[in-house]
Structure formats: C-alpha cells, structure tokens
Amino acid sequence: MSTEDCKIAGIAIKNSEKIVTKDKDFETISKYSTMEIVDFN
C-alpha cells in the first residue's frame, strides 16, 4: 500500500502498517477504531 492509495481513499493514516483500500480491507480498519469506514460504492 502507498500513501497515494490513502489519498485516493480520502483517509489520512499516519505511521500505519496498512492502508484501507478499494478492496475494503476491513480487517485492517478494525485496528483504527476511531476511523470512519469509507463506502466506495
């Protein structure tokens, strides 16, 4: 994952191991309980 993917998703995550992508990696997002889940549909 890259910071560019993060910008495309409209999510800013600093020092993250993974970035939430259009593939909807919600197992990753579960680490960030304060983050909003973005609906790409």
* Domain interval for residue 7: 1-34
CA distance 38 to 41: 9
Q: Which residue has the tokens 């790409």?
A: 40
Question: Is there a domain that residue 7 lies in?
Answer: yes
Predicted pLDDT of residue 15? 43
Q: What are phi and psi of 14, to 5 degrees?
A: -90, 140
For residue 5, the SS3 value is helix
Question: Is there a domain that residue 18 lies in?
Answer: yes
Domain count, the chain: 1
Question: Is there a domain that residue 12 lies in?
Answer: yes
Per-residue model confidence as pLDDT tens for the chain (41 residues): 565 665 555 555 544 555 555 555 555 555 555 555 566 65
Question: Is there a domain that residue 1 lies in?
Answer: yes
Predicted pLDDT of residue 25? 58
Question: Is there a domain that residue 39 lies in?
Answer: no
